[in-house]
Amino acid sequence: LDTVEDLEDSSIAGDDDEDEISNMENNLITKEDVEDCTPKGQMVGEAVIVEKAKRNDIPDMDQNKFLVRTDCTVGQLVYVIRKRINLSSNKAIFILVKNALPSTGSMISSVYEEHKDEDGFLYVTYTGENTFGKFS
């Protein structure tokens, strides 16, 4: 099964990393896809639900349930979300887990183990903020 590809450092993507980043975005799969072909208890990643924060002008995502590789960092997930919603360069994006801002260097697997819900999903909320304001 294809899931989010591992990157050395997604915060500084060089030319050589562009193809790998593109593959990471295209290889996100839904939990339903995994359930159809993977026996229960043998998933290859963490089940993550990504939701937009309320009262926010940031774009919606086309899907919100993902299976994210355990070796993916929070920073890599933020990068993928940013690319999938085509966020403009004058907006910052932040993700929250249970109203806390996880470190971008944290592994998804450790965030999942610490904060997963009773239903087995890790709920992640994304929100945006104007970083430069408006110029007249």
Angle, CA of 61, 67 and 68, to the nearest 5°:
90
SS3 of 81, please?
helix
What domains can you pick out in the chain, each with its CATH number?
A: 15-130 (3.10.20.90)
Each residue's pLDDT tens digit in the chain (136 positions)? 333 333 333 333 444 455 555 555 555 555 555 444 444 555 567 788 888 888 877 888 888 888 888 888 999 998 888 888 888 778 888 889 998 999 999 999 999 999 999 988 899 999 886 555 454 4
* Cβ neighbours for 109, distance < 8 A, ≥ 6 positions apart: 46, 70, 71
pLDDT of residue 106: 93
Flag whether the pTM goes above 0.85: no
What's the CA gap between 131 and 8, in Å, rounded? 26
What's the CA gap between 84 and 20, in Å, rounded? 15
Q: How many residues does the chain have?
A: 136
Taking only the tens place, the pLDDT of each residue in 105-128 is 999 999 999 999 998 889 999 988
